[in-house]
Amino acid sequence: MTHPERRRSDSAVERAQILVQEAVAELLRCPPERKEAATQEALSTLRPHLKAALEELETIGQLRDLTDVEFARQRAFIMLSGVAVQDNHTLLDHRVLL
């Protein structure tokens, strides 16, 4: 039987993975003139899901070693979170300049 915490953790990570894949697919279909705004919106929407997934992966890592797939997801989520934060700061900097 699967530990309830692990089941919840896996689902948060899976949910974030699916949302990232959906966001990328939508951005690939996005018209060039809308791509920057759509990217900012996608990162803003993904940010809380990435945070939750990273917290869950940290919990899993405390219980056992992460699998290669979990570790790869963790690295990808960290990179996307960094872009999301950096993008948000850049957007705020531009608003201040206006």
pLDDT, tens digit (0-9, with 9 covering 90-100), for 44-69: 999 999 999 999 999 999 999 999 99
Distances (CA, A) of 65 to 5, 6, 78, 97: 15, 13, 18, 46
The pLDDT mean for the chain works out to: 84
Check residue 81 and report its DSSP letter.
H
Q: Which two tokens stand for residue 31?
A: 């018209």
Structural domain boundaries enclosing 58? 4-97
Q: Which two tokens stand for residue 39?
A: 């990217």
pLDDT, tens digit (0-9, with 9 covering 90-100), for 63-95: 999 999 999 999 999 999 988 766 655 544 544
- List, as one string, the DSSP characters of 52-64: HHHHHHHHHHHHS
Domain count, the chain: 1
